[in-house]
Amino acid sequence: MADLAVTVDRSSPVPLYFQVAQQIERSILDGTLPAGTRLPNEVDLADQLSLSRPTMRQAIRYLVDKGLLVRKRGVGTQVVQSQVRRSLELSSLYDDLARTGQRPTTSVRELRVVEAPEEAAAALGVPVGTEVLLIRRLRCAQGEPLALMTNYLPRDLVDISAADLERAGLYEILRASGISLRVARQTIGARSATSAEARDLHEPRGAALLTMTRTAYDDEGRAVEYGTHVYRATRYSFELTLINR
């Protein structure tokens, strides 16, 4: 049973239920309240925090609606596996997961030289059939499969091994090799999982997947990486900040 460290500011214009919900959400996302943690019931929580029961009920409902908590008959309210939220910036998934305490691990499925298919060749600015380095990986977070990633790099760009890719993210390896990533062009979409993808990602066949394709360029304007990735929509989302200019 979790012992929640929550404080509220009754003079704040922010509603009390939202103050409580935000603090519990932060504890879930930073791992203080891991998946499976059982919370005290609403009555006990309300008494513990000196709040009304409707206020506490609204906070819990807010977190249930966000998919961070689940109510189970006979068990109570539990933390569920939190969704990975990734901001849209030029960073690697490995770096983002490590920074937020998600314990990333990588299984390298392929690492070999191939002839560039049409889409990869166009992105890298080379003729179709040019030899390029193909990398396929399964990325996990907190022991759960999260993404299948396919990347194409110019063949002689960097000397890289499977052990390197299991130890660190691709962008970290590129930076360590003196490659300065400057800008990327990225497209986000969605589609249904194939049978093989569903099996690897522990999802039912035909489950919704998020897709992302990206071409990254160095500070000289050279295309140094083309990636096409699929992510579990139940565990992953992209986060955007919109600015009015």
DSSP codes joined into one string, 210-222: EEEEEEEEETTS-
Please give the residue range of the domain that contains residue 69: 16-79
Tell me whether residue 22 is in a domain. yes
Tell me whether residue 4 is in a domain. no
Tell me whether residue 57 is in a domain. yes
Tell me whether residue 1 is in a domain. no
76-83 average pLDDT score: 73
pLDDT > 70? residue 1: no
36, 54, 79 - which closes a domain = 79
Residue 38 shares a structural domain with residue 105: no
Residue 108 shares a structural domain with residue 214: yes
Identify the band that residue 183 occupies on the pLDDT scale cut at 50, 70 and 90: confident
Identify the band that residue 144 occupies on the pLDDT scale cut at 50, 70 and 90: confident
pLDDT > 80? residue 44: yes
Phi, psi of 73 (to 5 degrees): -60, 130
Q: How far apart are CA 167 and CA 73, in angstroms?
A: 42
- CB neighbours of 52 closer than 8 A, spacing ≥ 6? 46
Tell me whether residue 128 is in a domain. yes
Number of Cβ atoms within 10 Å of the Cβ of 63 = 21
% of the chain at pLDDT higher than 70? 86
pLDDT > 50? residue 149: yes
Residue 214 shares a structural domain with residue 113: yes
User: 75-79, 109-113, 190-194, 223-227: which has the minimum mean pLDDT?
Assistant: 75-79
Residue 183 shares a structural domain with residue 134: yes
CATH code assigned at 74: 1.10.10.10
Tell me whether residue 67 is in a domain. yes
Residue 42 shares a structural domain with residue 106: no
pLDDT of residue 42: 84
Residue 154 shares a structural domain with residue 55: no
User: 27-31, 142-146, 163-167: which has the minimum mean pLDDT?
Assistant: 27-31
Residue 75 shares a structural domain with residue 114: no
Domain count, the chain: 2
Q: What is the model's pTM?
A: 0.62
CATH code assigned at 200: 3.40.1410.10
Higher pLDDT, 60 or 91: 60
79, 107, 125 - which closes a domain = 79
pLDDT > 70? residue 98: no
- Helices 42-49 and 53-65 meet at what angle, rounded to 10? 120
Residue 98 shares a structural domain with residue 65: no
Burial class of 32 by CB neighbour count within 10 A (0 to 12, 13 to 18, 19+) = middle
Residue 108 shares a structural domain with residue 70: no
50, 79, 108 - which closes a domain = 79
Q: How far apart are CA 211 and CA 231, in angstroms?
A: 6
Identify the band that residue 89 occupies on the pLDDT scale cut at 50, 70 and 90: very low
Residue 73 shares a structural domain with residue 102: no
